[in-house]
Every structure is written in structure tokens, then in C-alpha cells.
Amino acid sequence: MSILLLLLPALGWGLLPPIVAKIGGKPANQIFGTAAGLLLVSLIVFAVVRPTTDLKSFLLAGLAGAFWIAGQVGQYIGYKKIGVSTTMPISTGMQLIGTSLIGVFIFGEWSTGIEKIAG
């Protein structure tokens, strides 16, 4: 059961693009609907889990959310201009490459030169 719960976010993010494309609307409306739905779910989770937060964590989460909204609006514009089936492989590929590069250059996951060249 735990594994199924862990797969729910991936399932939700995978189903989001075709649902948003099917419903239509302007990117501003799409991001508002997405953010409102996520706010509702996060408030429910917050009420159940009762995590402790401090001001620094709250502000960093808000900053991360602002960057997420900027990226998500870009994706919604891409869905409208070139379609979901073209946008998603580009987006997924960029996430994989970007995450790997951040791990290497910011977090130093590949410490030696040989690891960086092979990677």
C-alpha cells in the first residue's frame, strides 16, 4: 500500500497535462486552477500530518512555489502552442538533464574529473 501512495504524485503529474489540454482555457486560468487544487490538497495534508514549520522554511517554500508557477505557466503555454505530446518529452528530458547537472555542479555528486567526463 505504501508504494501505491508513493506513486500517486507521479500519476497526478502525468495526468495533469492531458486533462489541462482537454479542459482548455488561457494559461492564467489553467495555473490558477492547478494552484487552487494543490492548495486544497496541501491544506488537507497539513491538517492531517501537522508538520512544524518556521519562518525560513515558509519563505523558502513560497520562493520555490513562485519558481514552480513560472515554469508551469511556460509549460501551459507550450501545451497550447505545440501540443502536449511534443511539450512533455522536452520538459521531461530537460528535468532529467537539469537535475543531473545540479547534482553534479552544486551538490558535488560526481567528485572526480573521470566521473564528470563519463557522466
- The model's pLDDT over 39-52, given as tens digits with 9 standing for 90+, comes to 998 899 889 998 88
CA distance 13 to 69: 14
- For residue range 30-42, list pLDDT tens digits in order: 999 988 988 998 8
**Residues 17 and 39 both lie in one domain:** yes
pLDDT (tens digit per residue) in 99-112? 888 888 888 888 88
Write out the residue range of the structural domain in which residue 6 sits: 1-82
* 2 lies in the same domain as 31: yes
- pLDDT tens-digit profile of 67-89? 999 988 998 898 889 988 888 88
Do 29 and 74 fall within a single domain? yes
**89 shares a domain with 67:** no
Give pLDDT, residue 44. Answer: 93
| 17 closest CA partner among 61, 83, 65 | 83
Cell numbers of 119, please? 557522466
Residues 43, 77 within the same domain: yes
For the chain, the domain total comes to: 2
Identify whether residues 24 and 11 lie together within a single domain: yes
Based on the domain organization, do 74 and 104 belong to the same domain? no
Residue 59's pLDDT band (boundaries 50, 70, 90)?
A: very high
